[in-house]
A and B are shown apart, each in its own frame.
Chain A
Amino acid sequence: MEKKLSEMDFDEEGTVKEIEENLKKQVAGMGIREGKNVRMATKQPIKGPVVVEVDKSFTSLGLGIADKIVVEVE
Chain B
Amino acid sequence: MPLSVDARWDLIDKISKQTVEFGARKHTLKDAIAELTVKPLTGIPVAIAVIYGFWSFFCDFAGTLFTDGFMVRLFDEHWLPWLQSVFPGGLKNPFYALMVDAGHIEGGVLVASDNCFEAFGVLTSGFFVVFGVVLWAVLAFYLMFAILEDAGYLPRLAVLVDTVLHKIGLHGYAIVPTFLSLGCNVPGVTATRPLETRKQRFMMMTLLAIFVPCGAQIGIMQDLVPEMMGWIFLTLAIGYLGFGFILNKIVPGKSPELIMDVPPYQMPTLRNIVRKLWIRTSRFLIVAVPFVLLGSIIVGLMYLTGAMDWLAAVLGPLLMGWFGVPSETVAPLIAGFLRKDLAVGILGGLMEQGIMTTFQVFTSVILLCIYFPCLATFALMLKEENGKEILGSLASLVAMVFVYGGLIHLVGIMLGVA
Contact = CB atoms under 8 A, between A and B. Distances in A.
B14 interface: no
B40 A60 contact: no
A25 B162 CA distance: 22
Interface stretch (B61-69, B80-88, B101-109, B256-264): B256-264
Given A44-B163, A48-B163, A49-B163, A60 B39 contact: no
A49 B259 CA distance: 9
Contact of B162 (A27, A33, A44, A56): A44
Nearest to B155: A60
B259 A27 contact: yes
Interface string A4-44: 00000000000000000000111110100111000001101
Nearest to B16: A55
A46 B259 contact: no
Interface string B132-155: 000000000000000000000001
Given A41-B35, A44-B40, A48-B40, A60 B262 contact: yes
A49 B261 contact: no
Contact of A62 (B9, B34, B166): B166
B9 A64 contact: no
Contacts, number: 87
Contacts of A28: 5, 8-9
B255 to A, nearest CB: 10
Given A56-B25, A60-B155, A62-B166, A45 B40 contact: yes
A6 B172 CA distance: 18
A30 B34 contact: no
A4 to B, nearest CB: 14
A64 B260 contact: no
Interface residues of B, number: 29
A42 B35 contact: yes
A49 to B, nearest CB: 5
B261 A59 contact: yes
Main secondary structure of the interface of B (DSSP, over half): helix
B218 interface: no
A42 B257 contact: no
A44 B257 contact: no
Nearest to B13: A35
A60 B260 contact: yes
Contacts of B123: none
Interface residues of A, number: 28
B211 to A, nearest CB: 23
A59 B259 contact: yes
Nearest to B36: A42
A49 B258 contact: yes
Of A25, A46, A47, A49, most buried by chain B (CB within 10 Å of CB) is: A49
B221 interface: no
A47 B163 contact: yes
B59 interface: no
A65 B6 contact: no
A73 interface: no
A59 B262 contact: yes
Contacts of B8: 28
Interface string B231-259: 00000000000000000000000001111
A44 B43 CA distance: 10
Contacts of B257: 49, 61-65
A44 B166 CA distance: 13
Interface in B256-280: 256-264
A60 B163 CA distance: 12
A60 B34 CA distance: 13
A51 interface: yes
13 contacts: A24-B6, A28-B9, A34-B6, A42-B39, A42-B40, A49-B257, A49-B258, A58-B261, A58-B263, A59-B260, A59-B262, A61-B258, A62-B256
Interface of A: 24-28, 30, 33-35, 41-42, 44-49, 51, 56-65
